[in-house]
A and B are shown apart, each in its own frame.
Chain A
């Protein structure tokens, strides 16, 4: 399955990124530069988070912070082309997110649904909504209160990775969990 291969590539990219820019993954507070670190969140999470933790040991993310979610839990899951079902590796990530959200019961989250650019704008808005809702439904099914989870679809408007190729597109078909009120 091509998805696994893509995940491995993502992990490789992550390692390279951490090796050259160790401060970036720890210091990033928003999406921006943290996207490559967190892109490993689903499939290759164990590799990714260990790598990230080793590199950011001196100032590890504050528990409960957005960086904590991005680095130690994984803030995003990936979808197959034109699909919105939660795959096994995505479920692993969402299980960790649910556990994390139980530890920080005041956190409210927004799940962003995103698509690759290989669809039309309006269809992708609908597909992104469906993906965000899939993540939401899964989190509810593993015990996160429904009223803590909002959703928003960005369709193909906010790619995480540039490049007109399958590896980039697979990184953009994603559901990203954002903490609205993460204190430090």
Chain B
């Protein structure tokens, strides 16, 4: 086993230990095998992908708590990989080799015979100080080589995060792109009668675990968005019957009105560097896009037009802003430079376009489109070319990107009848390819999802 001596990694460990109350640390990199010739790989740039058969074994432990955590971690990793649509975890009942004997070395023939192409094994060991040491290895079954292996020290209660981090490591090793499993979703939890919905901010892990409410429902809240530095959310609250943009500190629960605008502020979104918030301000009925600097608390007007200008979304390099405007007669997508200059329209096909959201990779803009009485989630390049429609329903809205720019989450509302039946709102995710549409399970109705960056 190779010792971890890289200074940068040690610094990373220290920073993580200091920053995170969860005190999770990367302990040691396990030995990396020589790269195999034709190794297991998923090419996710193709339209459709055949899911990779993968065997995720229970992580091995010797005593009760180790065994439990080992089984739980394997379950979460397996579920993460399955949900991605890129992996097909095999039924554990088909496994031939036991976890105990796996510790010595995989008998690859045992895994080939059940058609596993990749194998995940791990060990869980309780430490003297009460922490857990969790290690895992990813094997390429056909070339009989280890693809990656890592070990982590963590508080036992933090096993879920370790599982997601392992999922991310596997995803990255096999697809070549960073994962998105160690992330959270903030959204609006809906309840109550459809004419007077009770809406609360809620947060959960991307797989639905650790769900909790952030607000109590006494004020209407809408459109939460994560800061790129993660600890903060910006959102719209109707506190005191004055719809305004607020900041919400996730750790402390502290809420703060953003700016002293005399009128509605809405449609907030953090700038790419997290140092300012883009939003709309409605002055005498007319909405324009503004930027509020978070350190100086000065507001700058970016658009000046008698039409509606809203839903600003920054490019990841911070140089441009996509937004929604009806200056051409109907809602369409526009892009401008970061200071409000050089406005150009990018959506030209039939239909009404809104909610542009720039991909974290910068290569695409997701949007909501209305045409033919239906709503769609779609993507186009920032110059407006290459439009692709991914979904269709009575009402699909509010795309939000996974941090790796491969998956889009949105909400879907079903139609109501006059008696108030229907009208359910649920979160869904879909792959950029238009495949793998999945409901994201929430305790109740949900809308306005916002995907966090990878947890630092």
A residues lining the B interface (CB < 8 Å): 82, 84, 110, 117-123, 125-127, 129-130, 132-134, 136-137, 151-153, 157-165, 168
Tell me whether B264 and A125 are in contact (CB under 8 A): yes
With both chains docked as a complex, state the minimum distance between the C-beta of A29 and any C-beta of chain B, in angstroms. 16
Given A120-B368, A134-B285, verify A162-B324 contact (CB < 8 Å): no
With both chains docked as a complex, state the minimum distance between the C-beta of B443 and any C-beta of chain A, in angstroms. 21
Tell me whether B417 and A164 are in contact (CB under 8 A): yes
What B residues does A133 contact at CB under 8 A? 284-286
What A residues does B286 contact at CB under 8 A? 130, 133
B residues lining the A interface (CB < 8 Å): 194-197, 220, 222-223, 236, 241-243, 264, 266-267, 280, 282, 284-287, 308, 310-311, 324, 326, 330-331, 352, 354-355, 368, 370, 394-395, 397-398, 413, 415-420, 422-423, 448
Tell me whether B264 and A119 are in contact (CB under 8 A): no
Tell me whether A121 and B308 are in contact (CB under 8 A): no
With both chains docked as a complex, state the minimum distance between the C-beta of A10 and any C-beta of chain B, in angstroms. 13
Tell me whether A126 and B287 are in contact (CB under 8 A): yes
Tell me whether B370 and A129 are in contact (CB under 8 A): no
CA distance A132 to B243 in the complex (A): 14
Given A123-B324, A129-B287, A158-B195, verify A164-B354 contact (CB < 8 Å): no
Tell me whether A117 and B395 are in contact (CB under 8 A): yes
Tell me whether A158 and B354 are in contact (CB under 8 A): no
> Can you pick out 14 interface pairs between chain A and chain B where the beta carbons lie within 8 Å of each other?
A82-B330, A120-B311, A120-B354, A121-B222, A122-B280, A123-B308, A123-B354, A125-B236, A151-B285, A152-B242, A157-B197, A162-B194, A163-B417, A164-B417
CA distance A125 to B397 in the complex (A): 14
With both chains docked as a complex, state the minimum distance between the C-beta of B200 and any C-beta of chain A, in angstroms. 14
Tell me whether B267 and A162 are in contact (CB under 8 A): no
Tell me whether B415 and A122 are in contact (CB under 8 A): no
For the complex of A and B, 7 pairs with smallest distance between CB atoms: A133-B285, A164-B415, A163-B418, A126-B287, A122-B267, A126-B308, A120-B354
Residue in chain A with minimal CB distance to B417: A163
Tell me whether A162 and B423 are in contact (CB under 8 A): yes
Known: A126-B267, A129-B287, A133-B286. 5 other contacts (CB 8 A): A84-B285, A119-B331, A120-B324, A125-B267, A158-B195
Given A157-B220, A163-B416, verify A120-B287 contact (CB < 8 Å): no
What A residues does B352 contact at CB under 8 A? 119
With both chains docked as a complex, state the minimum distance between the C-beta of A39 and any C-beta of chain B, in angstroms. 13
Tell me whether A129 and B267 are in contact (CB under 8 A): no
Q: Which of B282, B418, B448 contacts A126 (CB 8 A)?
A: B282
CA distance A110 to B238 in the complex (A): 15
Tell me whether A121 and B194 are in contact (CB under 8 A): no
With both chains docked as a complex, state the minimum distance between the C-beta of B403 and any C-beta of chain A, in angstroms. 22
With both chains docked as a complex, state the minimum distance between the C-beta of A140 and any C-beta of chain B, in angstroms. 11
CA distance A136 to B422 in the complex (A): 35
What B residues does A162 contact at CB under 8 A? 194-195, 416-420, 423
Tell me whether A121 and B195 are in contact (CB under 8 A): no
With both chains docked as a complex, state the minimum distance between the C-beta of B87 and any C-beta of chain A, in angstroms. 34
Q: Which of A118, A122, A152, A163 contacts B223 (CB 8 A)?
A: A122
What A residues does B197 contact at CB under 8 A? 157
CA distance A157 to B264 in the complex (A): 15
With both chains docked as a complex, state the minimum distance between the C-beta of A46 and any C-beta of chain B, in angstroms. 26
With both chains docked as a complex, state the minimum distance between the C-beta of B245 and any C-beta of chain A, in angstroms. 11
